[in-house]
Amino acid sequence: MSKRKIKILDTTLRDGEQTPGVAFAPDEKLEIAKELDDLGIDIIEAGSAITSAGEREGIKKIIKEDLNAEIISFARIAKSDIDSAIDCGVDGIHLVFPSSDLHIEKKIKKTREEVRDMVAETSRYALDQGLTVELSAEDATRADREFLKEVFQTGLEEGVQRICICDTVSKMMPEQIYDLFSEMAKIINVPIAAHCHNDFGVGVANTLSALRAGGSEIHATINGLGERAGNSALEELALAISEFYSDEFEINLKLEKLYEISKIVEEHAGIPISPTKAIIGANAFAHEAGIHTHGVLSEATTYEPIAPEKVGQKRRLIFGKHTGKHAIENEIKRIGLKASDSQVDKIFNRIKDLGDKGKLVTDAEWTAIVDDVMGRSLEQVVTVEELTVTSGDTITPTAAVKIRYEDREFIEAGVGVGPVDATINAIRKVVSGISNINLQEYHVDAISGGTDAMVDVVVKLTDGKQIIDARGSNEDIIKASVQAMVNGVNRLLWNKKLSEGEK
């Protein structure tokens, strides 16, 4: 049986950017588009050209790159939208019309007949300008099916090249989507796309049902970004097709790049990925429970559905109250140490003690425990020599820091929304210059009661090869933040030296 080639339209730069609080600058759009193209995306919805001058600038930057992917703009059934897209030089448009009576009557205050005429006129106009047109029915899952067929037929008679059915507010379950797409596939002789949202947590399942019913194109976003609960997540769809439907469908994505592009989008969007997010979350291939770590170390497939490397991830063993001795012994061996049974017991008990107190055992604490029990000493590669912070109602929070790294001194200043943010920004400038170390996450892990409360700050740092957690504790949240950053930086640099054989 021949496989059906599935085209992927990525709408991270349009629908994904409609996530509340997300706005990509033109250069950020360009970087994401280049990564999407390298990933193997067929169609990139670069934005909605009518939106703003900055939006058009971003689309034009992408067009100039001459990428392999087809570059399109979102457009309403209005000539002004199409003209803006043409001005950007796009290959085509995602021409969207309201299809449900709710949207037709309440949103644009038109009649069905007027909408059908607008679709015919704008489709013809765009096609005459040489654009590829994907005609898309907004809120199709609440529309009258006979009306849907009429409008799609109108577009097909004009010559539109693709049809899209949108489950705009996730109003169908997978079996209903299957029924809808099956019916439409019988009368539509061009590729049919599925654009599903995730309001009820079934965006990916609905998209897969649409494919199985005859669809041949999917719309998705990196990290599942999008309005409300987001769009279907590209990484989840890609892995579902790869693992469960590879005999039926063919996609040409470099799956090993999924984690990398996920982190790039996370950084530019400013929306942290949940640790438990499928495929690309920090915990997707992390193991703590003793029975799990024992199993995965003996045979990875016992508790991992795929190899983490398939999507560019790495396995992580997390140490805490559920950790077993087998994982401790394995990790000690992995870093090139030999521990006696007594030393393993001591490490095991100290980790259990931290876990029983409700503490996250960070990577830095794990290695500090090992170093202490094994008699190793961590070289303080980076030390903070001076820190000055100013803040007030009429003063922009500012921090200045002097850090010593080996035999050199670095002085940097940072501003922020508050004194902690300013301090972190100042330190980030220094450590980025030292070893390209980036802060991925920052959070206050625990605060005790009282005005002299003890604050626990946990940070997640990476140098591109390692990802570690580190903690800082102090009555002063600024000092706790600095301590966490410095602990993490020292651990990363020390680990790097050890791996290179520099003792």
In a domain, residue 393? The reply is: yes
Residue 469: enclosing H or E segment and its boundaries?
strand 467-474
For residue 128, pLDDT over 70 is answered with yes
The CATH number of residue 69's host domain is: 3.20.20.70
Phi-psi region of 236 (alpha: psi -120 to 50; beta: other; left: phi over 0): alpha
**More confident position, 70 or 439:** 70
221 touches 196 (CB < 8 A): no
Residues 37, 152 within the same domain: yes
Cα–chain-centroid distance for residue 161? 31
pLDDT at 21 over 70: yes
Query: Are residues 337 and 476 both part of a single domain?
Result: no
340 and 470 both lie in a single domain: no
As a whole number, mean pLDDT of residues 251-260 equals 96
Which two structure tokens, joined as six digits, stand for 389? 């912070």
More confident residue, 454 or 24: 24
Tell me the average pLDDT across 370-388.
78
Task: Give pLDDT, residue 317.
Answer: 67
Same domain (yes/no): 209, 149:
yes
CATH code of 392's domain: 3.30.160.270
User: How far from chain centre, in Å, is Cα 121?
Assistant: 38
**How many residues belong to the chain?**
503
For 385-406, the pLDDT digits (tens) are 999 999 888 889 999 999 888 7
For residue 227, the model assigns a pLDDT of 95
Question: Is a pLDDT exceeding 50 seen at residue 502?
Answer: no
192 with 69, same domain? Answer: yes
Are residues 254 and 38 in contact, defined by beta-carbon separation less than 8 angstroms?
Answer: yes
For residue 379, pLDDT over 50 is answered with yes
Lowest mean per-residue pLDDT among 28-42, 174-188, 191-205, 470-484: 470-484
Strand partners, 76: 96
Give percent above pLDDT 70 in the chain: 90
Same domain, 358 and 431: no
- Choosing from 323, 350, 374, the residue where a domain stops is 374
393: left (phi > 0), else alpha (psi -120 to 50), else beta? alpha
- pLDDT at 1 (0 to 100): 63
Q: Which two tokens stand for residue 137?
A: 């029915």
In a domain, 276, yes or no: no
Q: Are residues 165 and 73 in the same domain?
A: yes
Q: Are 135 and 98 in contact (CB under 8 A)?
A: no
Inside any domain, residue 278? no
| Domain identity same for 300 and 411 | no
Strand, coil or helix: what is 45? strand
Supply the pLDDT for residue 64.
97
**Do 412 and 332 lie in a common domain?**
no
* SS3 call for 17: helix
Model confidence at 376, in pLDDT bands (50, 70, 90)?
A: low
Out of 220, 241, 269, a domain closes at 269
Shared-domain flag, residues 327 and 188: no
Where is average pLDDT lowest: 187-191, 240-244, 266-270, 427-431? Answer: 427-431
Residue 300, in any domain of the structure: yes
> Using CA atoms, how far apart are residues 403 and 446, in angstroms rounded to an integer?
27
Residue 325 has pLDDT above 50, yes or no: yes
pLDDT band at 475 (very low <50, low <70, confident <90, very high): confident
Residue 277 lies in a domain: no
**Best-predicted range by mean pLDDT among 21-25, 283-287, 418-422, 425-429?**
21-25
155 in helix, strand or coil?
A: helix
Six-digit token pair at 315? 């396995």
Look at residue 290 and tell me whether its pLDDT is greater than 50.
Answer: no
Residue 354 pLDDT > 80: no
Whose CA is closest to 30, among 49, 51, 48, 44?
44
What is the mean predicted confidence (pLDDT) over 268-281? Answer: 91
Query: Which range has the worst mean pLDDT, 128-137, 363-372, 386-395?
Result: 363-372
Over range 238-264, report the average pLDDT: 96
333 CB-near residues (< 8 Å, 6+ apart): none
Confidence label for 248 from pLDDT (cuts 50, 70 and 90): very high
Looking at 374, 404, 419, the residue that finishes a domain is 374
Please report whether residue 279 resides in a domain: no
Structure tokens, 34: 């280049």
- Say if residue 14's pLDDT is above 80: yes
- b/e for 447-485, b at 16 or more Cβ within 10 A? eeeeeeeebbbbbbbbbeeebbbbbbbbeebbbbbbbbb
Q: Which helix (H) or strand (E) holds 115?
A: helix 112-128
* Claim to verify: residue 115 and residue 247 sit in the same structural domain: yes
274 assigned to some structural domain:
no
CA distance 218 to 210: 9
* Residue 80 and residue 175 in one domain: yes
Which residues, 6 or more positions from 475, have their beta carbon under 8 angstroms from its beta carbon?
452, 453, 454, 455
Handedness of CA 34, 430, 435, 255 (dihedral sign): negative
In terms of DSSP bridges, do strands 467-474 and 455-462 run parallel, antiparallel, or are they unpaired?
A: antiparallel
Give yes or no for a contact between 193 and 220, defined as CB atoms under 8 angstroms apart.
Answer: no
* Cβ atoms 401, 430 nearer than 8 A: yes
Is 459 a domain residue? yes
The domain of 179 spans 4-269
The domain tally of the chain equals 3
Confidence of residue 449 (pLDDT cuts 50, 70, 90): low
Q: Secondary structure of 341-407 in the HEC alphabet? A: HHHHHHHHHHHHHHHHCCCCCCHHHHHHHHHHHHCCCCCCCEEEEEEEEEEECCEEEEEEEEEEECC
Kindly give, in sequence order, each residue whose CB lies less than 8 Å from that of residue 177, ignoring residues fewer than 6 positions away.
Answer: 141, 167, 194, 196, 206, 209, 210, 213
pLDDT given for residue 111 in this prediction: 97
